[in-house]
């Protein structure tokens, strides 16, 4: 019977590949302005719900190395390719201006087609906005918010869980009681109240802060309980008693013996919370606390999919869900790899 | 680190068990008080009130609305309303619903039954499937099952529940696989007992599937992760060396040790029985607490919301209590609130 | 191996559980028309008895009490259980005799004497007469009950009075002449005195006819009566054997045995159930769902109808309220822009209405430049100008109002302040949210910084009606009746829905004063042509002075299964069930068979 688990050469190669793909993903998102052909807010009102532009390599003249596209023309309820004119895809084109990472302005894009035609790699949404550009730009705020919110959640949750589990007694009762209170409250009303209290227009920076704090603080109860459970078990181990006997301070024991036990669950929770936090932003926009139009985020793009007719007719709008899925898988694999590294130490 | 038995548990706990339970009951009471007070407070914070929809109607005068508000006591100050609610709640009278004009408690109970049916079915299915699958994936780490589980669970976690629900419903519509929502067919009256049971089961399929899928993903992940940790322990390796079968190893030795996070999750599952299926109930039209309380929350039908929240708070306290007891059963040396390990 | 066995077991279970059985439907047979019964014979309607229809409702009904109801799901059901004195035929939009077989108006338009039908009964067999009418209206006007319907019976703040003349005659006296007063009676069901009087006298009326009331305690004059309520799931109505309408062959209506109302939870669920064949009639589809049903044609032969523009109007409103005394300085500053007519005209010229119709309503909508759209054929002002969208015109208007553009092409006012404001709208209304996004883009071409803030519905109401803490909002009104009178409160300067400037004691502008006078006049003028002239002028004043910037209206889209006969969807609520008594179920080959 084979039960695997040793880290060998093959696994190290896989870990490297994983790290590389994560890097590529994050780089792509950071360079959203460059990689995406258009500004995410630009509406093409003549092309709502246009399917992804098809890339062609062959035409009457034969095979071309440089791909080309045809224009979409409206035909009844959907679109047809207008085979009259072919538009070659050009690279390193000048297009809509954007600010690269907030550092400098430029208008260089990785690829594009000649004006006035457009290339919609992943189709368009209800307003004719390019989904590919929106997914890339949306990733900036979504991944950042997701990671930061998860960090906040886990920080608060671990702190509370550790204190409750390690010290036990009244601290445990009080903190776990608070967590139950937290879970039971009607957050809907609280969020409505928060929204009423804030000024109508919240700047993007404040929105980001608000998002991460709200999502981060609402979800600490679950990780706290799980960590507490693990800590309760860990503190009963013999070596902990021994360490106490040798005069080890609480802090030392926590750092050396208790916390490492919790890493496993923390990593698993992190891998779960990141996509959850990103998707939670979609729920927040119901209250007016999410990323507001026309700025894209995976959360508010997923909001469009809540309509049945849209979901089944325009499959390309699932792109942010696919992006979220890929991100989620990568973070899961990362968590897994980190876990096994910690285990083998 | 063997799992203890119930007898051992009681022996080692002794009289402390009664005291422990008493403390938990007191804690639950504090929880209810805190939740009810904060709920009233939050409601006040949120803008708007029940009769706002009428306010937007040009054919209804503000005098009528003011009269209605007075009728239902909405113009009283917060503290007065809270006091009155607490007094009647102690007499088991949870007030009236403004929308339905009927008492809250029977209204809630008529829906809670349906929610419990759905949630319990989903929970049983979830746990029966997730734990073995998680353990299996841990033991076949890197194999096709493990990879598949990682990908599938990532999919289920990343895609919001609502999208999964609509996707499954859309397939049900397309291929006429199962009834699309609701709890019973419209012609339930004319069916025999057996037919009614079948009808109910058919209607349960889709919502249970959605709930089970979404929750399993999380549980499988946790079970797998903690299973991996345990599988690397020396005594497990020793057992393998002695030639123990996989099933026996996983369920007799790995599971109890790896159960810790799963037990906390189980407590959450139990605690969330009445509140966790809200989204699915709304999408599938399942007549449970979810749609009722959601609608009441959005329309500010205060006493229904209060009743619903009290009910789910009780469940949550209960679920966590069960989880704590299970934790102690699993690892007899845990004694929450008792002696420290020194 | 074990997994495969488990899987196949589950599949078998699924298949056996889903094997359909054939249910049977029972309902009381219609009573034979009595000799002394004055039935209403409806011309041009045929069908045959039998069958049931299932209707999906988006929200759960809350009550069966017509006096206290305030939500549309309850109203849909209550309308099938009850009848009014005079009804508005939703197809022709004109009034028709109902429980009152005829009526006489006095020359000053203040007194209505109605002759009631003789010999007809409630659904429990109890006879109907003038006492029930007087009792019903007493309830509607009772101040202690605070019925939302009460205000409809108050004309200029004074109540109307009802007196019994004899057993089958009642007289209504209005405090002043009121145009189209007979339209008022549609929507006031007549209640059975013999069932409700006791509880009314005991002061417990608000708790009567809730959903839990046993069917034996509820009776009405509508085509159906309550059979059963299953909490949270469905309400089953069965034929009222005593219904007072019959077809031209003297077969008592309704044709249907049973109607079932199922709560499905959401608009999408409604569509899914209809597609799956679980419901038979669907109304108020949005364009995406409608196009889906047309394209997919999941049920061959389903009758899908696009009835043209509805009577609703969606609009952008700027906050022109008097904010003195409130600490809303930021908004007050911006009001300097909003109050400038040229500013509003510029916004009006920049709105891409065609874009809204195309992108929000999937081309199944109509652009609006006034509060009355083409769907309201009796009252629309045909000569209202419909200027095309022009950013150039908009820019000229802004320039002449003292605005200019700074170096980053942002619009700035005379003091150099950038023009920056927010639009709030309800987050639960997807169409209005889309309109807000489109408007934001349109106005950005003029250099305006517009922020869209979706808020929960009641939060929007709170800001627009209560705190006035908003810059601009996108809202919708209308859709009730075609007649201008229900809109009085919107256009009168002291009206409670005078959104742009609530709580005015006096009209703030000359044109508002003129509108006040015209609306008051048309309310007491009985001649339709004269009223139309006045209302035309009101529409022109509104379109010229732009208190609202009108956007668009959706089309009414409805559908029914192929087997539903006499399906006649209309532009007025209830769109598909207003003639529920005439609907019947076609079984193949039996269409003209007549009686069962």
Is the CB of residue B98 less than 8 Å from the CB of residue C68?
Answer: no
pLDDT for C6 equals 63
Residues in chain B: 342
CB contact under 8 A, B158 and A340: no
Beta strands in C145-255 (DSSP E): 154-155, 158-159, 161-166, 169-173, 224-230, 234-239, 245-247
Is the CB of residue C236 less than 8 Å from the CB of residue C260?
Answer: yes
Q: Is residue B295 less than 8 Å (CB to CB) from chain C?
A: yes
Is the CB of residue A339 less than 8 Å from the CB of residue B226?
Answer: no
- Rounded Cα distance between C211 and C265, Å, is 18
Q: How confident is the model at residue A290 (pLDDT cuts 50, 70, 90)?
A: confident
Tens digits of residue pLDDT in C324-358: 888 889 999 999 999 999 999 999 999 999 999 99
Chain C positions in Cβ-Cβ contact with residue B189 (cut-off 8 Å): 228, 236
Question: Does position A1 have pLDDT exceeding 60, yes or no?
Answer: no
For residue B79, is it within any domain? no
Among candidates C262, C456, C495 on the partner chain, residue whose Cβ is nearest the Cβ of B182: C262
pLDDT for C587 equals 77
Tens digits of residue pLDDT in A296-336: 998 888 888 878 888 888 989 999 988 988 888 888 888 88
Q: Is residue B231 less than 8 Å (CB to CB) from chain A?
A: yes
Alpha carbon distances (Å) from C498 to B179, C124, C336, C493:
47, 45, 20, 6
For residue B85, is it within any domain? no
Question: Does position B338 have pLDDT exceeding 60, yes or no?
Answer: no
Question: Does position B5 have pLDDT exceeding 90, yes or no?
Answer: no
Chain A positions in Cβ-Cβ contact with residue B340 (cut-off 8 Å): 168, 235
Alpha carbon distances (Å) from C325 to B319, C331, C421, C422, C445:
52, 13, 21, 22, 35
CB contact under 8 A, A200 and C451: yes
CB contact under 8 A, A324 and B159: yes
Q: How confident is the model at residue A3 (pLDDT cuts 50, 70, 90)?
A: very low
Question: Does position B330 have pLDDT exceeding 90, yes or no?
Answer: no
Q: Is residue B297 less than 8 Å (CB to CB) from chain A?
A: yes
CB contact under 8 A, B64 and C146: yes
Tally of structural domains, chain B: 1
CB within 8 Å of chain C, chain B residues 210-249:
none
Among candidates C210, C275, C489 on the partner chain, residue whose Cβ is nearest the Cβ of B173: C275
What is the Cα gyration radius of chain C? 27
- Rounded Cα distance between C515 and C493, Å, is 8
Among candidates C268, C292, C453 on the partner chain, residue whose Cβ is nearest the Cβ of A292: C453
Chain C positions in Cβ-Cβ contact with residue A207 (cut-off 8 Å): none
For residue B226, is it within any domain? yes
Tell how far CA C528 is from the center of its chain.
Answer: 23
Interface test with A, best of C456, C472, C552 (most A CBs within 10 A): C456
Among candidates A170, A308, A328 on the partner chain, residue whose Cβ is nearest the Cβ of B158: A328
CB within 8 Å of chain A, chain B residues 139-198:
139-143, 150-151, 153-155, 157-160, 162-163, 166-167, 169-170
Q: How confident is the model at residue B179 (pLDDT cuts 50, 70, 90)?
A: confident
pLDDT for A122 equals 94
Q: Which residues contact C202 (CB under 8 A, 6 or more apart)?
A: none
The mean predicted confidence, pLDDT, of chain B is 83
For residue B278, is it within any domain? yes
Give helix then strand counts, H and E, for chain A: 13, 5
For residue B77, is it within any domain? no
Q: How confident is the model at residue B75 (pLDDT cuts 50, 70, 90)?
A: confident
H/E stretch holding B156 reads: helix B144-158
Question: Does position A9 have pLDDT exceeding 60, yes or no?
Answer: no
- Rounded Cα distance between C466 and A342, Å, is 59
For residue B212, is it within any domain? yes
Residues in chain C: 596
Looking at residue C116, the DSSP 8-state letter turns out to be E
Q: How confident is the model at residue A35 (pLDDT cuts 50, 70, 90)?
A: very high
* Closest chain B residue by Cα to residue C151: B60
∠ Cα C434 C320 C351 (to 5°): 35
> In 3D, which of A272, A292, A271, A273 has the Cα closest to residue A282?
A292
Among candidates B30, B221, B246 on the partner chain, residue whose Cβ is nearest the Cβ of A268: B221
The mean predicted confidence, pLDDT, of chain A is 85
Among candidates B35, B43, B240 on the partner chain, residue whose Cβ is nearest the Cβ of A181: B35
Interface test with B, best of A184, A223, A233, A263 (most B CBs within 10 A): A184
pLDDT for C596 equals 32
Question: Does position A136 have pLDDT exceeding 80, yes or no?
Answer: yes
Q: Is residue A260 less than 8 Å (CB to CB) from chain C?
A: no
Could you write out the DSSP letters of every residue in A280-344? HHHHHTTTT-SPPTTS--HHHHHHHTTSHHHHHH-GGGGHHHHHHHHHHHHHHHHHHHHHHHHHH
pLDDT for A5 equals 46
Chain C positions in Cβ-Cβ contact with residue B301 (cut-off 8 Å): none
CB contact under 8 A, B180 and C457: no
Tokens of C395: 């820019």
CA dihedral of B139, A236, A271, A175, whole degrees rounded to 10: 150
Question: Does position B1 have pLDDT exceeding 50, yes or no?
Answer: no
pLDDT for C589 equals 42
Q: Which residues of chain C have pLDDT under 70?
A: 1-7, 9-13, 15-25, 298-300, 588-596
For residue B96, is it within any domain? no
pLDDT for B176 equals 78
- Rounded Cα distance between C451 and A206, Å, is 15
Interface test with C, best of A40, A198, A199, A201 (most C CBs within 10 A): A201
Around Cβ A89, how many Cβ atoms within 10 Å?
Answer: 18
pLDDT for C474 equals 97
Among candidates B35, B48, B327 on the partner chain, residue whose Cβ is nearest the Cβ of A229: B327
pLDDT for B14 equals 61
Q: Is residue C272 less than 8 Å (CB to CB) from chain A?
A: yes
Chain B: closest CA distance from residue C65 (Å): 10
pLDDT for C326 equals 85
Chain C: closest CA distance from residue B299 (Å): 8
Backbone angles phi, psi at C538, to 5 degrees: -60, -45
Looking at residue B252, the DSSP 8-state letter turns out to be I
> Domain range spanning residue B53?
2-66+104-340
Q: How confident is the model at residue B2 (pLDDT cuts 50, 70, 90)?
A: very low
Q: Is residue A25 less than 8 Å (CB to CB) from chain B?
A: no
> In 3D, which of A147, A155, A120, A165 has the Cα closest to residue A25?
A147
Q: Highest mean pLDDT: which of A112-121, A186-195, B7-16, C96-105?
A: C96-105
Q: Is residue A99 less than 8 Å (CB to CB) from chain C?
A: no
For residue B309, is it within any domain? yes
3-state SS assignment for residue B45 = helix
Around Cβ C31, how many Cβ atoms within 10 Å?
Answer: 14
| Nearest-10 crossing angle of helices A131-167, A319-344 | 40
Chain B positions in Cβ-Cβ contact with residue C68 (cut-off 8 Å): 101
Judge if ipTM > 0.95: no
Chain B positions in Cβ-Cβ contact with residue C212 (cut-off 8 Å): 102, 106
pLDDT for A344 equals 66
Q: Is residue A125 less than 8 Å (CB to CB) from chain B?
A: no
Chain A positions in Cβ-Cβ contact with residue B313 (cut-off 8 Å): 180, 184
Q: Is residue A305 less than 8 Å (CB to CB) from chain C?
A: no
A vs C: CB pairs below 8 A:
83
Among candidates A188, A222, A237 on the partner chain, residue whose Cβ is nearest the Cβ of B297: A188
Instruction: Specify the CATH number for the domain of residue B125.
Output: 1.10.3720.10
Backbone angles phi, psi at C52, to 5 degrees: -140, 155
3-state SS assignment for residue C225 = strand
CB contact under 8 A, B231 and A3: yes
């Amino acid at each position: 019977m084979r039960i695997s688990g040793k880290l060998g050469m093959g696994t190290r190669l896989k870990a490297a590949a994983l790290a590389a793909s994560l890097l590529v993903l994050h780089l792509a998102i950071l360079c959203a302005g460059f990689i995406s052909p258009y500004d995410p807010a630009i509406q093409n009102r003549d092309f709502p719900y246009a399917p992804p532009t098809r890339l062609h390599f062959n035409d009457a003249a034969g095979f071309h190395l440089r791909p080309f596209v045809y224009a979409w023309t409206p035909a009844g309820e959907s679109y047809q390719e207008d085979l009259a004119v072919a538009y070659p895809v050009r690279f390193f084109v000048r297009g809509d201006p954007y600010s690269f990472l907030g550092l400098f302005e430029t208008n260089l894009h990785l690829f594009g087609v000649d004006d006035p035609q457009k290339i919609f790699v992943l189709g368009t949404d209800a307003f004719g906005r390019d989904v590919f550009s929106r997914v890339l730009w949306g990733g900036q705020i979504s991944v950042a918010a997701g990671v930061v919110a998860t960090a906040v959640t886990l920080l608060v949750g671990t702190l509370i869980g550790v204190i409750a589990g390690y010290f036990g007694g009244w601290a445990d009762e009080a903190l776990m009681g608070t967590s139950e209170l937290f879970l039971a409250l009607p957050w809907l009303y609280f969020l409505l109240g928060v929204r009423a209290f804030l000024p109508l227009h919240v700047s993007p920076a404040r929105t980001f802060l608000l998002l991460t704090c709200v999502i981060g603080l609402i979800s600490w109860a679950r990780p706290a309980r799980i960590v507490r459970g693990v800590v309760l078990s860990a503190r009963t181990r013999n070596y902990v008693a021994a360490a106490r006997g040798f005069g080890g301070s609480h802090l030392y024991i926590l750092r050396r013996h208790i916390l490492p036990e919790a890493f496993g669950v923390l990593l698993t929770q992190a891998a779960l919370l990141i996509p959850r936090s990103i998707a939670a932003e979609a729920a927040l926009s119901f209250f007016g606390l999410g990323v507001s139009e026309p700025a894209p985020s995976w959360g508010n793009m997923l909001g469009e999919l809540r309509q049945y007719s849209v979901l089944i007719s325009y499959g390309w709008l699932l792109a942010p869900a696919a992006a979220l899925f890929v991100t989620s898988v990568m973070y899961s694999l990362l968590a897994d790899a980190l876990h096994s590294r910690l285990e083998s130490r | 680190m063997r799992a203890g038995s119930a007898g051992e548990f009681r022996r080692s706990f002794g009289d402390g068990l009664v005291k422990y339970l008493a403390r938990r009951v007191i804690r639950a009471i504090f929880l209810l008080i805190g939740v009810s007070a904060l709920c009233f407070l939050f409601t006040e914070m949120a803008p708007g009130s029940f009769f706002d929809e009428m306010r937007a109607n040009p054919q209804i005068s503000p005098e009528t609305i003011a009269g209605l508000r007075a009728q239902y006591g909405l113009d009283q100050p917060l503290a007065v309303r809270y006091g009155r609610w607490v007094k009647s709640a102690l007499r088991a009278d949870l007030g009236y619903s403004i929308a339905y004009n009927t008492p809250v408690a029977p209204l809630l109970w008529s829906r809670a039954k349906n929610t419990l049916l759905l949630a319990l079915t989903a929970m049983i299915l979830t746990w029966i499937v997730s734990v073995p699958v998680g353990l299996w994936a841990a033991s076949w780490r890197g194999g096709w099952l493990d990879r598949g589980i990682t990908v599938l669970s990532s999919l289920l976690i990343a895609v919001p529940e609502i999208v999964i629900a609509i996707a499954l419903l859309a397939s049900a519509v397309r291929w006429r696989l199962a009834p699309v929502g609701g709890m019973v067919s419209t012609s339930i009256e004319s069916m025999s007992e057996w037919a009614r049971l079948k009808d109910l089961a058919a209607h349960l399929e889709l919502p249970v599937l959605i709930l089970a899928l979404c929750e399993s993903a999380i549980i499988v992940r946790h079970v797998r992760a903690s299973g991996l940790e345990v599988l690397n322990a020396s005594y497990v390796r020793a057992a393998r060396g002695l030639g123990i079968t996989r099933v026996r190893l996983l369920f007799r030795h790995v599971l109890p040790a790896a159960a810790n996070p799963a037990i906390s999750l189980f407590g959450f599952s139990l605690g969330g029985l009445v509140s966790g299926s809200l989204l699915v109930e709304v999408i599938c039209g399942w007549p449970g607490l979810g749609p009722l309380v959601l609608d009441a929350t959005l329309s500010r039908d205060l006493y229904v919301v209060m009743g619903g929240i009290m009910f789910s708070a009780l469940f949550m306290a209960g679920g966590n209590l069960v989880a704590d007891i299970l934790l102690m059963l699993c690892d007899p040396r845990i004694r929450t609130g008792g002696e420290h390990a020194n | 191996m074990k997994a495969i066995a488990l899987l196949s077991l589950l599949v078998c279970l699924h298949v056996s559980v889903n094997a359909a059985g054939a249910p049977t439907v029972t309902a009381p047979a219609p009573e034979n028309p009595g000799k002394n019964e004055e039935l209403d014979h409806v011309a041009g309607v045929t069908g045959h008895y039998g069958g049931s229809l299932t209707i999906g409702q988006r929200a759960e009904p809350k009550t069966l009490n017509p006096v206290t109801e305030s939500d549309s799901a309850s109203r849909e059901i209550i309308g099938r259980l009850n009848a009014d004195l005079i009804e508005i035929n939703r197809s022709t939009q004109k009034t028709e005799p109902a429980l009152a077989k005829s009526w006489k108006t006095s020359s000053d338009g203040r007194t209505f004497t109605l002759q009631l039908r003789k010999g007809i009964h409630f659904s429990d067999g109890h006879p109907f007469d003038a006492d029930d009418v007087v009792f019903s209206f007493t309830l509607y006007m009772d101040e202690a009950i605070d019925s939302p319907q009460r205000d409809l019976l108050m004309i200029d703040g004074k109540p109307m009075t009802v007196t019994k003349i004899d057993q089958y005659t009642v007289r209504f006296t209005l405090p002043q002449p009121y145009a189209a007063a007979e339209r008022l009676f549609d929507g006031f069901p007549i209640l059975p005195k013999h069932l409700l009087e006791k509880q009314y006298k005991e002061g417990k009326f608000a708790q009567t006819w809730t959903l839990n009331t046993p069917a034996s305690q509820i009776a009405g004059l509508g085509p159906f009566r309550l059979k059963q309520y299953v909490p949270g799931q469905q309400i089953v109505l069965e034929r009222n054997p005593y219904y007072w309408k019959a077809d031209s062959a003297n077969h008592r209506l309704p044709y249907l045995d049973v109607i079932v109302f199922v709560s499905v939870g959401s608009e999408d669920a409604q569509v899914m159930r209809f597609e799956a064949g679980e419901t038979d009639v669907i109304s108020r589809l949005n364009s995406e769902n409608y196009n889906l049903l047309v394209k997919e044609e999941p049920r061959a032969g389903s009758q899908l109808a696009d009835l043209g523009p509805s009577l609703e109007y969606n609009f952008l409103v700027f906050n022109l309220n008097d904010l003195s005394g409130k600490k809303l300085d930021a908004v007050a500053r911006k009001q300097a822009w909003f109050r400038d007519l040229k500013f509003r005209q510029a916004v009006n010229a920049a709105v891409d209405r065609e874009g809204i119709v195309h992108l929000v309503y999937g081309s199944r909508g109509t652009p609006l430049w006034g509060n009355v759209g083409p769907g309201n054929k009796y009252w629309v002002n045909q000569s209202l100008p419909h200027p095309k969208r022009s950013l150039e015109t908009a820019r000229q208007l802004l320039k002449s109002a003292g605005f200019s553009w700074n170096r980053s092409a942002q619009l700035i006012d005379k003091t150099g302040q950038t023009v920056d404001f927010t639009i709030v709208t309800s987050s639960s209304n997807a169409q209005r949210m889309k309109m807000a996004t489109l408007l934001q883009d349109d106005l950005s071409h003029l250099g305006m910084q517009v922020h869209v803030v979706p808020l929960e519905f009641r939060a929007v109401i709170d800001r627009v009606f209560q705190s006035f803490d908003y810059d601009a909002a996108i809202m919708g009104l209308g859709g009730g009746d075609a007649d201008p009178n229900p809109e009085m409160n919107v256009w009168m300067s002291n009206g409670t829905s005078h959104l742009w400037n609530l709580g005015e004691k006096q009209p703030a502008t000359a044109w508002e004063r003129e509108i006040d006078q015209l609306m008051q006049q048309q309310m007491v003028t009985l001649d339709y042509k004269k009223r139309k002239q006045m209302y035309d002028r009101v529409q022109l004043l509104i379109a010229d002075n732009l208190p609202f910037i009108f956007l668009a209206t959706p089309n009414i889209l409805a559908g029914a299964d192929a087997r539903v006969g006499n399906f006649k969807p209309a532009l007025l609520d209830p769109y598909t069930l207003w003639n529920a008594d005439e609907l019947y179920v076609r079984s193949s080959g039996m269409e003209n068979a007549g009686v069962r």
